[in-house]
Amino acid sequence: MPDYVRVLASRFFVRDHAVKFKMTSLVLASTALITCSNAWAWYMSGETVRFNAAESNLCQQGGLDAAAIMYSRQMGKPLSYPSDEYSAPSASQKEIRVKFLQLAETYPIESTEDKKMAVADKFSRDMRAGCLQYIKVSRPQSFAE
């Protein structure tokens, strides 16, 4: 796994970026990424939203794809997806990648390597957070912990 993916993956956490949530939610909705309602089971634990492993993994993979896309754009390097070495991407994953590519094109190329990495990190987090937000608003809550 490339170092940039490892670094970005280790720094994931949900932030409150309302605009990015809305944009990402629209992207996810338009690609029909989430198709089976009974497979999703987020729940509340006190004041904390908890997602099941499938939900978390789906959004983490989307975040990693977003990181690869933005890193490639910022650094001017060929785009490659590390997860494709292990398994072929699904049709919905391919569709969301296209949407992420389109969104990445709206970001300017930064001048320094630190700024480029910061943009890739933020883009990745925003896409992951938007995915989790989309699941939360589009799927019913499970009451079983």
Instruction: Determine which helix (DSSP H) or strand (DSSP E) holds 44, and give its type and residue range.
Output: strand 43-45
Residue 76 falls in which region: left (phi positive, over 0), alpha (psi -120 to 50) or beta = left
Structure tokens at 38: 């009974």
Q: Does residue 25 belong to any structural domain of this protein?
A: yes
Q: Does residue 83 belong to any structural domain of this protein?
A: yes
Q: Does residue 109 belong to any structural domain of this protein?
A: yes
Q: Does residue 36 belong to any structural domain of this protein?
A: no
The string of pLDDT tens digits covering residues 72-118 is 999 999 999 988 999 999 888 899 899 999 999 999 999 999 999 99
Tell me how far apart the alpha carbons of residues 67 and 128 are, in angstroms, rounded to a whole number: 10
Q: Does residue 144 belong to any structural domain of this protein?
A: no
Q: Does residue 61 belong to any structural domain of this protein?
A: yes
pLDDT bucket at 128, cuts 50 / 70 / 90 = very high
Q: Does residue 87 belong to any structural domain of this protein?
A: yes
The string of pLDDT tens digits covering residues 24-66 is 554 554 444 444 444 457 778 888 888 888 888 889 999 999 9
Measured CA distances, 70 to 40, 63, 141 (Å)? 28, 10, 32
pLDDT of residue 141 exceeding 60, the answer is yes
Q: Does residue 113 belong to any structural domain of this protein?
A: yes
Domain hosting 61: range is 3-30+48-138
The string of pLDDT tens digits covering residues 11-20 is 443 344 444 5
* pLDDT of the residue at 20: 52
Number of domains observed in the structure of the chain: 1
pTM above 0.85, yes or no: no
